[in-house]
Amino acid sequence: MKKIHVTTKINGDTVEFLCDPRETLLDVLRDRLGLTGAKEGCGTGDCGACSVTVDGRLTCSCLMLGVEAEGHEIGTVEGIADGEELHPLQKKFIEYAALQCGICTPGILVAAKNLLERNPDPTEEEVRYWLAGNLCRCTGYDKIIRAVLDTAAEMREAS
């Protein structure tokens, strides 16, 4: 199978890769680029563990081909922290114990960050609807929701 050359930006850096047209963006991130933050929970768009942003829009990387990334800007969980400095959401997730096994966490962090960029003051209902496509089999969601709401409050105060 002929591989296709793709140029894209991931977390601000220009990245080039070769991939088979059948490979998903998730396959490319994990298996070709070593960015294993995005997880494969289902591979069919149901769980959100593979969430990334594409030009600022939240997307399941398992529902997008690697070749479709050409010319677009991808954001993954690896781009959330600033070097050693964790993002406020990451700190709050630890503080609230909003994760147990952690499989869902990268996707939820990417999704929650995307929400707060669009809406710095979401209601609980808005957070729950926004994250409805991110399944978690451990926490029961409550700690996740509270961590997101508290981060939002803290970030509003800080700005």
Partner 1 sequence: MNYYKPATFDEAIAIASGAEGITRILAGGTDVLVQMRSDIVTPDTLIDIKAIDGVKDITRAEDGGWTIGVAVCGAEISEHPDLPREWPGVVEAIGLIGSTQVQGRATPVGNLCNASPAADSVPALVAAGAEVTVQGPNGPRRVAVEDIPTGPGRTSLQKGEIITALHLPPRGKGGGDAYQRFIPRTEMDIAVVGCGVNLRVSGQVITEARMALGAVAPTVERVRGAADALVGTKLEDSALDALADLAQAACNPIDDKRGTVKFRTHLAGVYARRVAKIAYERARAAQ
Nearer to partner 1, 68 or 73 (CB): 68
**Contact present, 46 and 100 (Cβ < 8 Å):** no
**Residue 60 touching ligand FES (CB under 6 A):** yes
Q: Which residues are 82's β-sheet partners?
A: 85
The interface with ligand FES within residues 87-116 (CB under 6 A) comprises 99-104
Site of tokens 């503080």? 95
Q: Is 54 in the site for ligand FES (CB under 6 A)?
A: no
Complex with ligand FES: residue 101 or 153, whichever CB lies closer = 101
50 is a site residue for ligand FES (CB under 6 A): yes
Q: How far is the CB of 15 from partner 1 (least distance, A)?
A: 19
Closest by CA to 64, choosing from 32, 30, 25, 38, is: 25
Q: Verify binding: residue 46, ligand FES, rule CB under 6 A.
A: yes
Minimum CB distance to partner 1 smaller for 114 or for 151: 114
CB 34 within 8 A of CB 17: no
> Residue 136: which of partner 1, ligand FES, none does it interact with, CB under 5 to 8 A by kind?
ligand FES
Picking from 143, 15, 159, 109, the residue whose alpha carbon sits closest to that of residue 25 is 15
Assign residue 2 a region (left: φ > 0; alpha: ψ between -120 and 50; beta: otherwise).
beta
Pick the binder of ligand FES from 53, 139, 145, 148 (CB under 6 A): 139
